[in-house]
Amino acid sequence: MALRIGSTLQEAGYRLFSRTGAILLAAFFALMIGFQALINTIVAISFTRLGFGEATAALPLTLDIPLSVAGAGVAVGSVVSLYLTIVSFRTFVAGARDSFPDGAFTRNVPLAMVNVLVGGIVYGLLVFIGSLLLLIPGIFAYVVFIFMMPYIIVEDRNFVAALKESYRLTEGDRVALFVLLFIVIAVATFVGGVVGLIGALALPQSATQLPTVVIQPLVSLYSTAVIAVAFEQLRETDGIPPSAPSEDGKPTTAL
């Protein structure tokens, strides 16, 4: 059975707009507000030190804190964002709408974080290098390795095994998967552009970043849900039940 694009998009929406999805969305909203404030603070302090203090006057969401504290806050926020991404994938792949699945918040979190971080760098390099080679190889790498994170987060694989398993799982469905991802990216780009333009034209200077703060977590979390649903769907087609353990019955999250 091939990947079902329409049902994947629909089911992702159902999982996002559920009790667990709403909790995750609220957490990402709060994180995004804090993250944006810290970034603005770093920009404002840096520009002021360079003698461009007037340019920072219009920046909204700035905090009266030292540069070192703002930088530390960004680092902590990045870790929290990665943690919430792990929880989101485990929740969406499990299809848990009313309550979070067992182990979503605690199972192998440090090792999953390390593998997602290192694997994300490797994945990004593969896509970047492929994009330099007439673009097509980059698109191919983006599609065939798209399930690296679910394999690490849900099945406790290390990033090398996750890349291999993602490549295998996408066989026979790569065109459909490309169409699915293209739809999500195109719609997200369009909605983000429209919302940003409306914000720039209709809102005062102090609130122009508000639409981005609102739309970015929503788009990001919906994209996570789409990948999670597609992952679950293809695994079921492949004869693997949801949340199946690794082949030897043991976690393989270690690097």
Model confidence over 155-204: pLDDT tens digits? 999 999 999 999 999 999 999 999 999 999 999 999 888 887 877 777 76
Residues in the chain: 255
> Is 1's pLDDT higher than 60?
no
Range of the domain at 224: 5-237
| 254 in a structural domain | no
From the list 92, 101, 83, the residue with the least C-alpha distance to 16 is 92
| 68 in a structural domain | yes
- Of 38-42, 50-54, 111-115, 130-134, the range with the highest mean pLDDT is 111-115
| 213 in a structural domain | yes
| 124 in a structural domain | yes
| 246 in a structural domain | no
| 242 in a structural domain | no
SS3 250: coil
Q: What is the pLDDT of residue 251?
A: 47
| 252 in a structural domain | no
Dist CA 72 CA 38 (whole Å): 9
User: Which pTM was predicted?
Assistant: 0.87
Q: What is the pLDDT of residue 59?
A: 73
Q: What is the pLDDT of residue 57?
A: 67
Number of compact structural domains in the chain: 1
> Is 58's pLDDT higher than 80?
no
- 81 touches 115 (CB < 8 A): no
Q: What is the pLDDT of residue 244?
A: 44
The dihedral over CA atoms of 191, 196, 198, 200, expressed in degrees to the nearest 10, equals: -170
| 120 in a structural domain | yes
Dist CA 106 CA 246 (whole Å): 18
Q: What is the pLDDT of residue 53?
A: 66
